[in-house]
Structure 1
Amino acid sequence: MTIAIEYEAEKKLELPFETIIREIVLAALDYEECPYEAEINVILTDNEAIRVMNKEYRGLDAPTDVLSFPLVDYNVPSDFNHVEDAVEDYFNPETGELMLGDIVISVDKVEGQAESYGHSQTRELAFLVAHSMLHLLGYDHMEEGERAEMERRQDAILESRGYVR
């Protein structure tokens, strides 16, 4: 399992961010029953850097809390049946790991949203990682039914590791 974490923000989160990220990534993979060793990249950055990415990739010129860049195409979320048909597209040839994608998180948003929602920065970071992991596993929240299903899964992942409001 490769969980690469890069900290690019000047502002430091005063919490064990690497531990939280790794724990939630593994919890999401367990919950979704991913049958492969996986590779995930996580970048912790600031509002300005994520604003630039949000503008470039989503056409929205504003900072956001988290961006997800999935590398696997799913017909059905967390359905891995097709990935071995395209090994060269989905697996790292050096490690054999399934390359799920990248997560980019704004540490400024972690701090601000934790305060706004009245919970800890630890819980906010865990939530953003769980949310983004579900995107990397094919889930979305464009429609009400999808949103409700994603929220149910996020809550289950967080609760499985004791991250509650």
Structure 2
Amino acid sequence: MSVIYEDEYGKDWPFSPEELAGKVIEASLDHENCPYEAQVNVLLTGNEEIHGMNRNFRGIDRPTDVLSFPLLNYETPSDFSRVEEEEADSFDPESGELMLGDIVLSGDKILEQAEAYGHSTKREFAFLVAHSMLHLCGYDHMTEEEAKEMERRQEEILQSLSITR
């Protein structure tokens, strides 16, 4: 597994964001039974930068906590059975890893939301990475049922890492 991590935010955290992102990504892939070695890009940035991305890519003119840019199309979430047939160009030719996509996190929102929800910045960061990984595996939360399923899976992933509220 490869995590290509970039930090534009430049803040000191009480944990290693790069290391934590790797642990959460690995736990998410294990939870979703991904049969491939995978590659994920993670960018930690600020509200101004994520605001521009949210406006440009989603047409929503405000900052957000996390953006997910999946590279795969799934018939059903976490169904990797057709990846080699239908998504063959989604494998990095150098490493052979399945390229799942990009995660963009707002450091500003991580700080704001951790305080608002009364938990640690480590927990908020891990929660957002797990949430985004589920998007990279084909999950969404457009309906109440989908949202509950994502919430359940996010909590299971965090519990497997002993990251609780």
- The TM-score normalised by the length of structure 2 is 0.97
The whole-number CA distance in structure 1 between the counterparts of 2:37 and 2:65 is 27
> Once the 2 structures are TM-superposed, how far is the Cα of residue 72 of structure 1 from its aligned partner?
0.6
Percent of aligned pairs with the same amino acid: 58
Q: Which residue in the other structure is 1:55 paired with?
A: 55
* Structure 1: tracts of 5 or more residues without a match: none
C-alpha RMSD of the superposition: 1.0
- 2: CA distance, partners of 1:59 / 1:87: 27
1:5-154 matches, within 5 Å, as 5-154=5-154
Q: Count matched residues.
A: 165
Is the 1:13–1:107 Cα contact (8 Å) retained in structure 2? no
Code of the aligned partner of 1:84: E
Distance 1:64 1:12 in 2: 21
- Structure 2 SS opposite 1:69: strand
Task: Give ranges in structure 2 of 5+ residues lacking alignment.
Answer: none
Q: Deviations over 1:10-34 (max 9, x none)?
A: 4333421112111100000000000
Any idea what SS the aligned residue of 1:56 has?
helix
Aligned-partner SS, 1:23: helix
> What amino acid maps onto 1:16 in structure 2?
S
Give the SS at the match of 2:81: coil
Instruction: Tell me the TM-score normalized by structure 1.
Output: 0.97
Q: Which range is displaced more, 6-15 or 89-98?
A: 6-15
Indicate conservation of the 8 Å contact 2:47/2:109, yes or no: yes
